[in-house]
Amino acid sequence: MSDASKKDSELMKKIVSLCKSRGFIFQSAEIYGGLNGCWDYGPLGAELKRNLKDYWWRRHVQERDDIVGLDGSILTHQDVLKASGHVGGFSDPMCDCLLSKARLRADQIVPQTGTAYHFTGVTHEESGWSIEKDYSVLLTEGQDPNKARKTARLYYSQFLTDKQISPKKLELKGESTEEVSDSTRYNPENGSLLTEPRAFNLMFKTQMGASADENDESAVAYLRPETAQSIFVQFKNVLETNRLKLPFGIAQIGKSFRNEINPRNFTFRSREFEQMEIEYFCHPDDGMALTEEWLEARLKFYEEIGIPREHLHILDVPDGERAFYSKKTYDIEYEFPFGIQELEGVAYRTDYDLSVHQKGSGKSLEYFDDQKKEKFIAHVVEPSAGCDRTILALICEAFDEETITNDKGKDETRTVMRFDPKMAPIKAAILPLLKNKPELVDKAREVQKALQPFMNVFYDDGGAIGRRYRRQDEVGTPFCITIDFETLGEEAADLKDTVTVRERDSMEQSRMPISELLPFLLEKIH
RNA sequence: GCGGGUAUAGCUUAGUGGUAAAGCUCCAGCCUUCCAAGCUGGCUACGUGGGUUCGAUUCCCACUACCCGCUCCA
């Protein structure tokens, strides 16, 4: 591992550790040993996520008159996913090589012709060890039969409990041969038998109805693999009930599930994840231009929530790597400590989605333009963002450790989560300077009550004031409001009912009348 | 899915074939007039399940989870 990646790995460890110790993110079912790739958001994580989703919704739905919202069901009719291509079409059957463990796409295996050597097992006389397991090796014409036996011994040797035993000492059992032609059951690389082709089930499959039979195909339903499909399927209902005209969008935030995902990198890749998607429908002529517009709009959004442009990368997905129906796709990527990884895809999906559902359902999903007297299937541009990934990016971006020199001239580390105030889980901490002075405590509680209806604030009177400031730094609270003796009017009459406002990033303090707190904070967090 | 590594308190680590130590955190109390002060007290851990053993957190096996490298990611 290089120094840089080691440093990044250390950084990621710190971030994961802070997420747990401060209550942002916990492992799912931790007390039962954990559930692979599943995570729970703790109190602060839940606030953070809510802030992100709320802001996304406000920006893209409430503050625009061309986008409306939808909240579709997670359980999905199997016909929807058959039409979309998720059932069948997109899942490539794969085989694993029993010897080398290499994974091959079944449809890409070059058919082989030759002699198959079958074996039923192997024994090791000295130790008495043996195993019964069918295995075969394919030899093409002219190859030495001993090559098949050697390969088979190698295969069986992987089951040896005593790794000291040489594969050469293994006695093969039940050898027989068979002529085969054009077979794709063997690895062209080494002749080893492959596993049966297995369709990777990308989706979580379930049965509808409490008494549904496991084999009842008609009871099959799926957890949605993306939020997009319910938008396409409800396109007509939304269009007809909302007096919409192209171009317009339908937005949705919600959970999606993909079983094939190999969980990695903390919450980055999970089997259960939340998406924030817009399907923006338009005239076919406008698709390309709108893709560019959406890319810009989304980059601006990231900037607004505190992820600067210079930490984002835009990948113009080249021909051949895009989905076959997409004419243009941009990936917006973020520089995570574990690498540059995708946050969002902005894809021009043409009329693929509405076309397949029109065909699949037999219902017309065409759009009629009254003015141009033109009928067509709308094209769609899809900005599809990963909510959990964006949360992780916000956390990585916010994390900072700075060295400051304290009063005694000693260096110490201050951990600060530099969240944008819009995103910060706690907007302000209300702190009475001293806990054992009831006048301060009462006043602080008053301030807390005044702010609570408008934002998430946090009251804390435990320990020294400096400690409380640092605690808030570590969870990213942008402002600390301290009720002190000036507030009570004990020092100077004109300072009565003013408080200390301490800013997280600069640690600077200023005085402010209590009456100005609310407008001040609202302006910062909006 | 494959290979490697790891698993002790909320966090970071120590340690042992006879059930465990420390720092930080946290809680309570005292004290404290602005950046992790101090004092006193307190809660909390050997991932799960087997095996060996008189006895296992320690040795062995399996499982689970996390991390790293591949693979995969419509």
Q: Please tell me which residue lies nearest to nucleotide B74, judged from CA to C1'.
A: A90
Question: For position A183, what pLDDT does the model report?
Answer: 83
Q: What is the mean pLDDT of residues A18-23?
A: 91
Q: Nearest nucleotide (C1') to the CA of residue A406?
A: B35
Taking only the tens place, the pLDDT of each residue in A248-273 is 999 999 999 988 778 888 999 999 99
As a whole number of Å, the end-to-end CA separation of chain A is 43
Q: What is the mean pLDDT of residues A26-44?
A: 91
Question: For position A246, what pLDDT does the model report?
Answer: 92
Residue A96 CA to B71 C1' — how many Å?
Answer: 11
- Candidate ranges A124-138, A305-319, A404-418; pick with highest mean pLDDT: A305-319
Structure tokens given for A104: 């091959």
Q: Nearest nucleotide (C1') to the CA of residue A485?
A: B33
Q: Nearest nucleotide (C1') to the CA of residue A258?
A: B73
- Assess: ipTM above 0.85: yes
Structure confidence at residue A163 as a pLDDT band (50, 70, 90) = low
Residues above pLDDT 70, as percent of chain A: 95
Q: Is A69 exposed, middle or buried, given 0-12, 13-18 or 19+ CB atoms closer than 10 A?
A: middle
Question: What are A471-475's contacts with CB under 8 Å, separation 24+?
Answer: A472/A426, A472/A429, A472/A504, A473/A414, A473/A415, A473/A416, A473/A417, A473/A504, A474/A18, A474/A22, A474/A415, A474/A416, A474/A417, A475/A22, A475/A44, A475/A417, A475/A425, A475/A426
Per-chain mean pLDDT for chain A: 89
Question: For position A194, what pLDDT does the model report?
Answer: 82
Taking only the tens place, the pLDDT of each residue in A94-112 is 777 777 777 777 777 778 8
- Higher per-residue pLDDT: A435 or A211: A435
Residue A36 CA to B48 C1' — how many Å?
Answer: 15
| Residues 6+ away with beta carbon under 8 Å from A432 | A440, A441, A443, A444, A461, A482, A483
Structure confidence at residue A124 as a pLDDT band (50, 70, 90) = confident
Pairing mode, if any, of strands A39-41 and A129-139? unpaired
Residue A257 CA to B66 C1' — how many Å?
Answer: 21
Structure confidence at residue A348 as a pLDDT band (50, 70, 90) = very high
A404 in Cβ contact with A289 (< 8 Å): no
Q: What is the mean pLDDT of residues A339-356?
A: 94
Residue A435 CA to B29 C1' — how many Å?
Answer: 13
Protein contacts on strand B: list nucleotides below 7 Å from a Cβ: 1-3, 10-12, 25-28, 30-37, 47-48, 64-74
- Higher per-residue pLDDT: A13 or A130: A13
Q: Nearest nucleotide (C1') to the CA of residue A5?
A: B68
Residue A474 CA to B24 C1' — how many Å?
Answer: 15
- Higher per-residue pLDDT: A493 or A424: A424
Q: Nearest nucleotide (C1') to the CA of residue A13?
A: B67
Go through A201-213 and write b for each residue having 16 or more CB atoms within 10 A of its CB, e for each that does not. Answer: ebbbeebeeeeee
Output Rg (C-alpha) for chain A, integer angstroms.
31
Residue A311 has pLDDT above 90, yes or no: yes
pTM above 0.95, yes or no: no
What gap in Å lies between CA A265 and CA A340, rounded to an integer? 12
Q: Please tell me which residue lies nearest to nucleotide B69, judged from CA to C1'.
A: A1
Taking only the tens place, the pLDDT of each residue in A41-98 is 999 999 999 999 999 999 999 999 999 999 999 999 999 999 998 887 555 667 777 7
**Residue A12, strand partner residues:** none
Residue A398 CA to B6 C1' — how many Å?
Answer: 28
Residue A209: C-alpha distances to residues A55, A80, A212 (Å): 37, 19, 5
Q: Nearest nucleotide (C1') to the CA of residue A100?
A: B2
Structure tokens given for A86: 């998720």
